[in-house]
Structure 1
Amino acid sequence: MKNLFRGIVLCLFLAPTAAFGQDWAAKMFSATSHDFRAVARGAKIEHHFEFENIYQEDVHVAAVRSSCGCTTPSVTKSTVKSREKSAIVAKFNTSSFTGPKSATITVVFDRPFYAEVQLSVTGVIRTDVVFDPPAANFGEIREGETKEIKLSVTRFNRSDWQITDVRSHCTDMQVKLSEPVRSSRSVKYDLVLQAKASMPVGEIHEQLTLLTNDQQSPTVEMCIAGKVRPSLSVSPAALTMGAVKPGGEFTRRLVVRGEQPFGIAKVLCSDERFSFAAPEGQKKVHFLPLTFTADDQAGPIAQSIRIVSDLPHDRYTEFLVTGNVLEAEAEAEAE
């Protein structure tokens, strides 16, 4: 009876049971609304609603739909394992629509239980502002490299239009703005965007805000996309230990690769039950032994581990370890 009670309590904390209604799905999202504000006609504009599976069971997105054709939704990964992340991508259809627009995106989950989450987007699509090219995309960048892209922004039907400032929340990107070229009916600026060597690994989803002297519509937004390819990788990228008995050990040899010779400076892990024997020297391939020694602390494990190199900017790679330490009483009864 005591073991049954413990199992019920554990399930309440780790499983999105039907008793919680549909709130379990909404808890995975860090935000459920986004305002694109004023954007240019034809510009590539999208927002990623990221969510993380905080539960032990796999989560599956069965469908996504939008209440308005002005927004096209999609999902980056339909099946999301424990502690993995995915995103609902809301693409603003600036080529087909103009003016103020809003949409509600419904995300349908069918595993481990049925639930729906509503996401909302709003924005204003302007016809008097045009970006060339319409997409600010860095493409793929190797970690530690710099890359520049150039584009122009033109404001029609107002020759005194002025960009007073350019703002970005990304400190790893630099923006240069040219002097304006004015004609009787338009103003044109050139923009140079530079991704710095410190740009972190992963997808680039940034937003740039142009502040102007237009009092009725003082800002224009643009999205910046791209991907920074890691210079380090670890195999396996996700490790499953299964069930480990109290006092038992789990060992595995990891393979860490780099595009250039490197050394392993340190391994960061918040769980002291994990230990590592980092090899010495610099090489393109390292074999890193991992050992997990279980104690009497029973329960599930979902541990993110970071391997830090001696390369510039402390470049690193990460992997996820999952498993479960059995209770001593449960182990004894099983035997």
Structure 2
Amino acid sequence: MKHLFATIISVCIASWCFAQGDFKFEATEHDFGQILEGELAKHTFKFENIGNAPIVISAVRASCGCTTPDWPKEPVMPGETANIQVVFNSKHRPGNFYKSITITSNAKSPSMVLKIRGFVIREETDKVDPEKSPELNLVDKEYNFGKVEVGERVTHKFTYENTGKGDLKIKSLYSDCRCVAYRNSKLILKPGEKAELEVIYNPKKVNDRPEKVYVITNIPKKSSDYLLLKGQVVKSIVPKSVVQENMVGFN
């Protein structure tokens, strides 16, 4: 009987020790697309506690003072759902924006990151009549570079066309890695025209995940479309021994 009692106590203690809340978000990233300068862009990240203990969020911090988060101050019980609301103030912040929001809690993953992005339209001339709006059609949307060295510059030309009723202008590209530039064969694309967008990829760190590159245009109130860059980013394709061998006697 004593042995059985000790076993039960041990199991209870073990269960208590390993009880943890666990986040399950519907999505951890949100793209606002294009918004007008001065607009307060709001988004709600919804989550469920799929763990076996309450989640207590101790802090939610944004990477910029222009972004204000709001989160539940009471424990979120197992099986319950809750929201984290994020408000981005676009005043005096024209152009691309990319912000991260870090959640600190007692959950299984004690630190989690949410992300928001978009493009703030600055000038009156950027506003387009919805009745005469251009439309972006990316004829090809992805490309695989194969193996690429960190710091190497590789390029690929993507074809796109304007299937709308107004002039199309590509304003910018952006990606999480901030390692992409571009050259455009035409600054303004008339309805029905095609052009080439040359993307210059210069990765800064080892990575084997696809890189999303968001295409920002003058299309009113449309979420950004994106290109997908695939490949494996490595430190060096050529082994160090081969490099050293080729350098023997080189002065």
TM-score (norm. length: structure 2) = 0.46
Question: Please, what TM-score do these two structures have when normalized by structure 1?
Answer: 0.35
Tell me which protein shows more strand as a share of its residues. Answer: 1
Higher relative contact order (CA 8 A, sep 6+): 2
